[in-house]
Structure formats: C-alpha cells, structure tokens
Amino acid sequence: MTTHTGRRASLALAALAGLVSGAVFLGAAELLALLVARTASPILAVGGFVIDIVPQPFKEFAIATFGANDKIALLAGLGLAVVIASAIGGILEYLRSPSGVVIVAIAGVLSTAAVVSRTGVTPLSFLPPVVGTVAASVVLILLGRRLRLWRGTLEGAHADADADADADTASDEAPALGRRGFFRLAGVAGVSAVIVGVASRVVTAATSSVDAIRDALKLPAPRRTLTVPAGAELDVPGLSPLFTPNADFYRVDTALTVPAIDPSTWRLVVDGMVERRVELSFDDLVGMGLDEYGITLTCVSNEVGGGLVGNARWLGVPVRDILRMAGPQAGADMVLSRSVDGYTASTPLSALTDDGLDAILAVAMNGEPLPAEHGFPVRMIVPGLYGYVSATKWLTELKVTTFAADEAYWTPRGYSAEAPIKLSSRVDVPKVGSPVAPGRVPVAGMAWAQPTGVARVEVNIDDTGWIPATISTPVNDESWVQWMYEWDAAPGTHYIAVRAWNKNGQLQEQQRAPIAPNGSTGWHRVLVTVSS
C-alpha cells in the first residue's frame, strides 16, 4: 500500500465519519421534532429560511425551471449541501480535531436560528437542533479518535511508517482496535440515524396530516347560497369553466410543507390598534353564520394570458363583522393578516370594512372545506386585491395597524404595499399551437375587473378593428366573466387580440408592464394557424 492510496483511503473514511455524523444530526433532530416540537425540524426550517432570503429573480428562475417541483428541487439542493458539509467536517475532524466539530457547531447555530426565526423562541423549539448538534459532535469526535487510532493522523502515518521497523505489540493492536471500533460505531450510528430520522419524518408527516379531520369536518349549511343566473356559463369546448375546480386551482405560497392545522385547536386573534383584543375558535367563527360568495382570486405574478387566476364559491364570514367585535381605533389604516407559518399580507382597513365589498374569512371552497394547500381551515379572500396583499392562507392573526408602522412579507421584496387587481382579459381558445379548421370557429376566453365588474369585451382579428364579443351573464362584479366571438376563419396565420372595459368605462391598459411591482398589464394577443 503506497502512502498515497493510504492517505486517500483515510480521507475517504474521514468523510464517511462526517456523513455518519451528519445523519446523526438530522436523525436526532427529526426524532426530537416529532416528540416535542413538530415545526422545529432543522432541515425544513433551513429550507423555509432559504425560500425567504433568496432574491426574487432567483425565485422566478426556480419556478420557471422546476415549476411545481421547485420545493423538491430546493430540498434536493439542501441535501447535497448537507452531504458536502458533513464530508468536509469529517475530514477536518480527522486532520485537526476538533475543527470538524466547529463545522457541526456552525450548522447547529444556523439551523437553530432558522428554527426559532420561524417557530418563535420557545424552549422546546431549541431542542431538535441543539440535541442534533450535540449527538453529531459526540459521534464525530469518537469516530475521529478511532480512525486516528487505526490509520494514524497523516503526520502520524509517516511516523508510523518510520516506526514500522521496530513495531511493538501494543502499537500493533491499536490499529485493529481502532478499525473495529470505527466500523462498529459508524455502522450502528449511521444505520440507526437513517432509520430513526426517516421514521420520525414519516410519522410526523402522517400524523400531522389533517386530511382525516378535514374529511370528517361538517360545516353548517350556508344561510345564503350564491345565485348563478342563466347564461352565466358559455358552452365553448376548451374554455375555462366559470368556477375553477379545486384540483385545477392555481397554488402560490412560500410554504415548504403545507401547514397542518387542527380546527379544534385553531384560534384567530384580532389585536393591535383595537378597543378589545378578540380571540375566536373555529366554532365561534363558523357559528357567526356562513354565506356563499363568488370571488375571483388573482396572483400578482400572473403574466398577460397566464393561469394564476381562478374563481370559486367561498363559504365565509365578512371580515367587517369580526373587526367590529374588536373595534378598530382611529388612525389605523391597515390590517396585517398573519399565517401560522409567519407569512403576512397588508390589506387596507377600508377594503375590509367597506359595506359594499365582500371581504371574507373563508372556510370552504367550491362546496368542501378549504383544501390544505388553499389554507385549511381559514383564509382571507378580498375581492379586487391581489392574493399577496389579501388572501392569507392558514390565517391566525389580524393585526389592526398602519402602513407606516408595519410591513408585509412581499413589501421589502420589491412588491407594492397596496395592490388592486388590474382589469384583464385573455384568450383561451383556440389554444395556441392547436390546429384550427377553416370556417366557423369559436374564439373565447375570460375577463375580470374585480370589484367593478366587466362591462364589455372586444376582439380584434389581424388588427382589422375592435368587434364586440358576447359575454356571459355575470354572477356578480367580483367574479370573472367568459366571453366569446364566432369567427369566420380563413386559411393562413392570424392574430387574435382581446381587451376589456370595466363598468366605470375604463379600458384595459394596452401598455405592457411586468408583474413587479404591482401586476402585469397589456392586451393578450395570440397567433393562430388555420389549415387550408
């Protein structure tokens, strides 16, 4: 065995010791999280922290590249970082103890910071990362000691080679002892860490699933259901439905794992600039009486022609009724709504108290309790405001405050503190890229102008002039409408453009604007090829 391969093998074994110690860190932390503080998993906390700190362009890149798998990609990247850092820690510990322990300690401090920044400073939330750090350090120190006993340190290895000539029996036995001790400890610690860690995470995920509770939840019948007028839905194949099925409803949030909230322990706190702090249970809220509302939700990140918009029937309670119980003080102009995962949105107080506007706390979506990804058990929905400034999911607090005093999640990240939804329309059919036969072809799409309402929609074929389209009978001014135009399509390529007018006589903005800082504008225009 040459010194070179011997050295390389020693470093590989040292890296292995580091990986075992890394596994022990995560395994011990997951077990502690399961036992004492479910939300204090270091790996998930660090992932959430990364989501919060990465710059917006990178976030957009991640969403564009990995799509709905962006969070899985993040976890995979994080796993790779853990593997690399652990291996380096193992090698450092072998070369110069206790420098590897310093790496473990740094990981411990960072993950503790991530955990407490997300779950709050409670004694129990410190336990998973701290116990993980201690266990990983002990294992790393012991493995490093055994490895040195077996292989010698690098310097020691040279000394050993020199001493080989007059080797005595004691130094002959030490390497064998070290070798056995190393593999025994590495095997036991590595295997049990993986088993305990995976089992803990699986049990945490399975038992914190609220699916069973949600399925069993019986909501009282609404006092008033939404009236859907005749003609509210046009019959055009391929056109988006008036109500977006829950399974097709877009999802946008910063949550790495979907919060699991048991309605029986859920509380809403209304505090801040109020006469009386109010605390409501789920039964209190539902007991106020549920009504059904049709409201179209829109994301500020929706590009012209995009799909980050959907319409649903929501069962809920007006926010103004809840705020009235607390009594907002004079001078307040904003409500900061907070999610259990720390996400916040800033909504003008007037948008929530206005009698003419149906801002609600929603508990059901399209006839069933809110799906977990859409905010179970309670979320806010405000007609006419982009989701990021109004539609807080997994709601837990309404803080009455001012725009001067408080900032919401997206405000320091390049988005406006106040953001009304912009009057928009889009073409759904013909679908871009699908073949169209010449003759009578329905051209159709959606238009929305919450909370003013869409007055009319116009279509323009090949820039020959704006023609009125037929619009569906609106359910209300807070929901989108469908529009259609019967086109006599001639062979060749054609441009179809659409624009909408709201009930205030306002025309949709033609000038293109990007999604940041407060929503895209521009007329949607698609290229269609008609076969001959």
Q: At what angle do helices 42-53 and 3-36 cross, to 10 degrees?
A: 90
Q: Does 86 interact with ligand MTE (rule: CB under 6 A)?
A: no
The least CB distance from residue 314 to ligand MTE, in Å, is: 11
* Binds 353: which of ligand MTE, Mo ion, none (CB < 5-8 Å by kind): none
Nearer to ligand MTE, 132 or 294 (CB): 294
* Binds 253: which of Mo ion, ligand MTE, none (CB < 5-8 Å by kind): ligand MTE
* Binds 246: which of ligand MTE, Mo ion, none (CB < 5-8 Å by kind): none
Of the candidates 493, 487, 485, which has an alpha carbon nearest to the alpha carbon of residue 532? 493
The least CB distance from residue 419 to Mo ion, in Å, is: 9
Site string for ligand MTE, 194-233 (x = CB under 6 A): ----------------------------------------
422 — phi, psi (to 5°)?
A: -85, 140
Nearer to ligand MTE, 394 or 501 (CB): 394
According to CB under 6 A, which one of 393, 399, 422, 524 is a site residue for ligand MTE?
393
The least CB distance from residue 307 to ligand MTE, in Å, is: 11
* Count of residues engaged in binding ligand MTE, rule: CB under 6 A: 19
CA distance 512 to 303: 10
The residue whose Cβ lies closest to Mo ion is 299
Nearer to Mo ion, 286 or 419 (CB): 419
According to CB under 6 A, which one of 94, 150, 249, 480 is a site residue for ligand MTE?
249
CA distance 312 to 18: 51
Q: How many residues can be counted in the chain?
A: 532
Residues 307-366 that bind ligand MTE (CB under 6 A): 339, 341, 343
CA separation, residue 202 to residues 8, 31, 212, 372 (Å): 37, 11, 16, 18
* Binds 374: which of ligand MTE, Mo ion, none (CB < 5-8 Å by kind): ligand MTE
Which strand ranges, in their side-by-side order, compose the sheet holding 395-401?
278-281, 267-272, 395-401, 334-339, 344-348
According to CB under 6 A, which one of 251, 320, 413, 525 is a site residue for ligand MTE?
251
According to CB under 6 A, which one of 148, 214, 374, 422 is a site residue for ligand MTE?
374
DSSP H/E element including 346 = strand 344-348
The least CB distance from residue 435 to ligand MTE, in Å, is: 32
Residues 6+ apart with CB under 8 A from 37: 119, 122, 124, 125, 127, 128
Residues 6+ apart with CB under 8 A from 379: 361, 362, 370, 391, 392, 393, 394, 395
CA distance 370 to 388: 18
Tell me: cis bond preceding 442? Omega within 30 of 0 counts: no
* Binds 392: which of Mo ion, ligand MTE, none (CB < 5-8 Å by kind): ligand MTE
* Binds 482: which of ligand MTE, Mo ion, none (CB < 5-8 Å by kind): none
Nearer to Mo ion, 299 or 357 (CB): 299
Of the candidates 320, 353, 332, 323, which has an alpha carbon nearest to the alpha carbon of residue 273? 332
* Binds 399: which of Mo ion, ligand MTE, none (CB < 5-8 Å by kind): none
The least CB distance from residue 336 to Mo ion, in Å, is: 17
Residues 6+ apart with CB under 8 A from 457: 425, 447, 468, 469, 471, 481, 483, 498, 499, 500, 501
CB of 516 within 8 A of CB of 415? yes
The least CB distance from residue 450 to ligand MTE, in Å, is: 13
Q: Which residues bind ligand MTE (CB under 6 A)?
A: 249-255, 297, 299, 339, 341, 343, 374, 387-388, 391-394
